[in-house]
Amino acid sequence: MELIIRNLSKTYANGVQALKDVNLTIQQGMFGLLGPNGAGKSSLMRTIATLQEADNGDIRLGDIDVLKQKQDVRKVLGYLPQEFGVYPKITAETMLDHIATLKGITHPKERKEIVEGLLQRVNLFSVRKKNLGTYSGGMKQRFGIAQALLGNPKLIIVDEPTAGLDPAERNRFHNLLSEIGENTIVILSTHIVDDVSNLCKDMAIICLGEVLAQGNPVQIVEEMKGKVWKKIIDKKEIDTYRQNCKVISTHLFAGKTQIHVFSDQQPDTSFESAETDLEDVYFSTISQKVDTITI
């Protein structure tokens, strides 16, 4: 099964064009949707998840017309939104059981087995009888994945799932998502470059509602190798370099300013070749739409 998006556009009542003629083909596995805040990622996810209407375009999940057959989509969809709230005084076990009932799993014994199995899978079984309000951020995210997995969905959407997690929780979450992506279409919407680099075999970069690039992260990085250069400069020189070079990002390095420049050839002998990574690709791509990124 694959998800095919064609010519998708969405403009809100306030005049903001959130999606501009978006075209994507997403296969089974982990797909990274990378873009800055306000890029249109959440608008695209909400449209795929049947939570808002599109103005134009078409989305198909296998034989399902996503924009017309909303109930059919919801039967095979797992969704973890960016803002995932929980009832603080309800246990994880009780809440997951309730959600399973809403998803049509009506037989008590079957529902109990499914709930316990999911809590085991997301490593929450030992705390299943604790109230959700006592959970850490990472535990709540893992609970969110558990509810998204109810009903064996064919498409799972996770929107900014690792924002605010500590490194250990983020690593656990990565491992869980990677396991899920072996048999399902999983769309990971994020602005964290490392999440896409570590997890996804295919990706797209979106900015101001437009898809600017799509492909395999390793191949995309390979295509840019030898075209990114770095130099330590005085901070007051940055405007001069921006006028004369394609500065794609600036970094603080040992208290000084390091610039990354995109160029087919070495700008001058004062520049060194930079080891290219997905971050350089990302910054170079979105610099077509926004100002140079500062880290």
- Report the CATH number at residue 86: 3.40.50.300
Range of the domain at 12: 3-215
User: Are residues 192 and 52 both part of a single domain?
Assistant: yes
User: Are residues 242 and 205 both part of a single domain?
Assistant: no
Q: Are 191 and 221 in contact (CB under 8 A)?
A: no
User: Are residues 177 and 140 both part of a single domain?
Assistant: yes
User: Are residues 50 and 182 both part of a single domain?
Assistant: yes
Split into its structural domains, the chain has a count of 2
Lowest-confidence range among 4-18, 85-99, 142-156, 281-295?
281-295
User: Are residues 134 and 77 both part of a single domain?
Assistant: yes
User: Are residues 145 and 258 both part of a single domain?
Assistant: no
Cα(11)–Cα(57) distance, rounded to whole angstroms? 12
The residue out of 215, 241, 256 marking a domain boundary is: 215
What are the tens digits of pLDDT across the range 186-241? 999 988 898 899 899 999 999 999 999 999 999 999 999 999 999 999 888 989 99
The residue out of 198, 215, 232 marking a domain boundary is: 215
User: Are residues 126 and 252 both part of a single domain?
Assistant: no
User: Are residues 15 and 89 both part of a single domain?
Assistant: yes
The residue out of 183, 198, 215 marking a domain boundary is: 215
User: Are residues 150 and 237 both part of a single domain?
Assistant: no
User: Are residues 39 and 169 both part of a single domain?
Assistant: yes
User: Are residues 187 and 239 both part of a single domain?
Assistant: no
User: Are residues 228 and 99 both part of a single domain?
Assistant: no
What are the tens digits of pLDDT across the range 38-94? 899 999 999 999 999 999 999 999 999 999 999 999 999 999 887 777 889 999 999
More confident residue, 295 or 286: 286
Amino acid at 17: Q
